[in-house]
Structure 1
């Protein structure tokens, strides 16, 4: 059945029942808006693991929306036990503004507390009529793009930074030329949607644009759902590392009596069964055995990360995305 792509509001709550009988424990996972199907599949897998290890039935509830708005909801009282987001700054907010997690939360789990990752890729229409293969093809002629607004979406911020990183390498770090490239890039955007699902609706259902830019995982999932023969996925040779950080909301989990459950829920994402499941949703993973098994599924990409290329998310947000920052300057008419 085709999934609904209608905007579901800033925060939506869906119950993922994991057993037909009464649950002994309940856990709430706050996640980003395009992760519904992923966790609908992961939650029963984890529940079975927990049942075998602890002889308890557990029900996982999900709260979905833009990850920045999800984090705000927690700060305003949503008692989520764990967060599974698509941007580091949205997790960091829970420490900086609420002290709900420790300052060193990225050390709690392997790979900077990112059990899986992706990059930014393109979804084009059948036959790739505009011949889009790389970032510089996006600024040619009358090419029109659709992707989420970097002001409101972590997905959109990754797209913007990927284009900037490509241009910086192309022009050997010449900032003036890089700015001009990204200004031209932004001028080719047909629609800035508020989030990833909205951008998909615009491109698929409204038929706007020549290319949808999103996470590699998401564009592959969209193509699978809406027509292998109607769309093509293009993964540029160079792009950005998009991490998907997780954290136990320690104050909430302790208050809910779920500290051990919450930690195991996130830790199990690193297990071989969970890592294999993640690849079925086109996420890249770290488990060596699963990486080897799925090597043909993921094209080789030269990845750069936000810390190395831009000096970290704090610096990026202040310089590029703050009011009056570089993004605003480049979009000024």
Structure 2
């Protein structure tokens, strides 16, 4: 949405301030989907860097979801080891364990769930629940790491579009509805974490407590993109070292 704002000029730069919670009516986080019984005893981020563990995750260069995966791992390593260099070394070990980088999250889910490749899938929590409860019932478990990232899927009005089509009132009403208790119930039932405290309390058993850091720890998305994901930035360097 920032790209639509900055390059397309179709909505204002402060679009995220127009609705509560950074215009994210629900949130998720990054968890591990493992084979039933967790045969490789994967419990936290360090286990993903162990020799012989096959990790399935998409390519952060082509997948927005994969960028959350990468940043979740980076944030964990920087917290635990205390330096950028140590976090970089950790990510090199992790990506050395990635046998295939699919272009998107759905492709990685297919690789892990349907093709049976890998020991662990880095996944949005809602996707992991979907795999456990619907795509492969009885075949997978979810492992919630000790720390992860607050993943926020935002919503926004694209001013140029709604004004051109005369749909502003309907669009604004729909986005406001997403924050109501009725919508928050639907959100929880579809495995996203509700923002409404009363509704969230009803889903407490479904969503384990996890320590979450945010994109602000990386200076925001623009800085994270520049430091980590632009051509020649940290991810490209990490991937090159992982091939050695």
TM-score range, shorter chain: over 0.9
- Asked whether the equivalents of residues 74 and 87 of structure 2 are also in contact (C-alpha less than 8 Å), the reply is yes
User: CA offsets per residue over residues 272-301 of structure 1, 9 Å max, x none?
Assistant: 011010011110111111011111111000
* Higher relative contact order (Cα pairs below 8 Å, separated by 6+ residues): 2
Give the conservation status (yes or no) of the 8 Å contact 2:58–2:102.
yes
The question of 1:181 aligning with 2:84 is answered no
Q: Report how far residue 204 of structure 1 moved.
A: 1.3
Residues 237 and 300 of structure 1 are in contact (CA less than 8 Å); yes or no, is this contact kept in structure 2?
A: no
CA distance in structure 2 between the aligned counterparts of 1:237 and 1:282, rounded to whole angstroms: 20
1:297 match: secondary structure? coil
Structure 2 unmatched ranges of 5 or more: none
- 2:7 paired with 1:97: yes
Which residue in 2 is equivalent to 1:213?
Answer: 122
Instruction: Please identify the structure whose Cα radius of gyration is greater.
Output: 1
TM value normalised by structure 1: 0.71
Structure 2 CA distance, aligned partners of 1:151 and 1:251? 29
Does residue 313 of structure 1 match 2:221? yes
Deviation string 1:286-329 (CA, Å, 9 cap, x unpaired) is 1111011111111000000011x211111111111000001111
Write the distance in 1 (CA, Å) between the matches of 2:219 and 2:136: 39
Pick the aligned partner of 2:205 from 273, 296, 311. 296
Deviation (angstroms), 1:179: 1.1
What are the within-5 Å matches in structure 2 for residues 165-314 of structure 1?
165-172=75-82, 174-307=83-216, 309-314=217-222
Q: Is the 8 A contact 1:130 1:210 kept in 2?
A: yes
TM-score, normalized by length of structure 2? 0.96
Distance 1:271 1:191 in 2: 41
Q: Indicate yes or no: 2:240 matched with 1:327.
A: no
Instruction: Tell me by how many angstroms 1:227 deviates.
Output: 3.2
**1-structure distance, mates of 2:63, 2:92:** 19
Aligned to 1:20: none
Structure 1 unmatched runs, 5+: 1-90
Q: CA deviation at 1:192?
A: 1.0
Q: Is the 8 A contact 1:146 1:191 kept in 2?
A: yes
CA distance in 2, matches of 1:206, 1:116: 31
SS at match of 1:212: strand
Give the aligned partner of residue 109 of structure 1. Answer: 19
- State the distance in 2 between where 1:263 and 1:168 align: 40
- Give the root-mean-square deviation of aligned CA atoms: 0.9
- For residues 248-289 of structure 1, what are the alpha-carbon distances to aligned partners after superposition, in whole Å with 9 as ceiling and x for unaligned? 111111111100001111111101011010011110111111
Count the aligned residue pairs. Answer: 241
Between the aligned partners of 2:180 and 2:65, the Cα distance in structure 1 is 26
Post-superposition Cα deviations, 1:217-255, rounded to whole Å, max 9, x if no partner, equal 111111111333211011112000100111011111111
Give 1 or 2: higher strand fraction. 1
